[in-house]
Structure 1
Amino acid sequence: MVLESTVYSLTTGRLVASTAAVIALAGVVLGGVALARAGRRASAAALATGGAGALAGAFVVATADGGPGSGSGIVGGFVALVLGLTAALLGGLARRRTRTCAVDEQPG
């Protein structure tokens, strides 16, 4: 006898994980833009959204009751965690690049 425990509806865990993943994905986009154009505001926004997405993803992963397919959002939590860390890395690299460009342009 096989018991099917896969949940197909939108649960709270899936909703939180999906929202965190979208926020983290926005941070990755902002980080890419900041690296391409050396924007200081975009790099700060990438750091902030990446950190928020990673924290929310880590929360979902830490509080998940089951594995994939259980409705707890663990897959989306891991996606949000990876995307959030990537966004923070890109934002940090862009911030470092703008700082070194500003130091190189100072007279004297």
Structure 2
Amino acid sequence: MRILTSGPEVEVPSDLIASPAMTSLIARLRDDADVVLFDAPPVVLATDAAELATLVDGVLLTVSAGHTRRDDAQRAVDLLGKVGARLVGAALVNAPADAELRKYLAA
């Protein structure tokens, strides 16, 4: 596993995402790895994620239990669809585990 951090903050992230340098970086990463993952800001809060979604093979939407509202999740799906992103699934995070599940996970 290799981790590539975002680097210094830029004034207009969408300019960086749309740059030829980003396209080249993604191509190099695809050549060097079996799987490449990008962590992006929430789709409904910033255009960065939707722009990045147009450059990658698929998007996994992360939904936070008790935090992400259903209408926000649906809006994210709609926004990703409008840019032609391939939504491959969703992951529920921060879900509380009940006692039975905790026993199973501890085994």
TM interval, shorter chain, is under 0.3
- Higher relative contact order, chain-length normalized (CA < 8 Å, sep 6+): 1
TM-score, normalised to structure 1, is 0.26
Higher strand proportion: 2
TM-score, normalised to structure 2, is 0.26
Higher helix proportion: 1
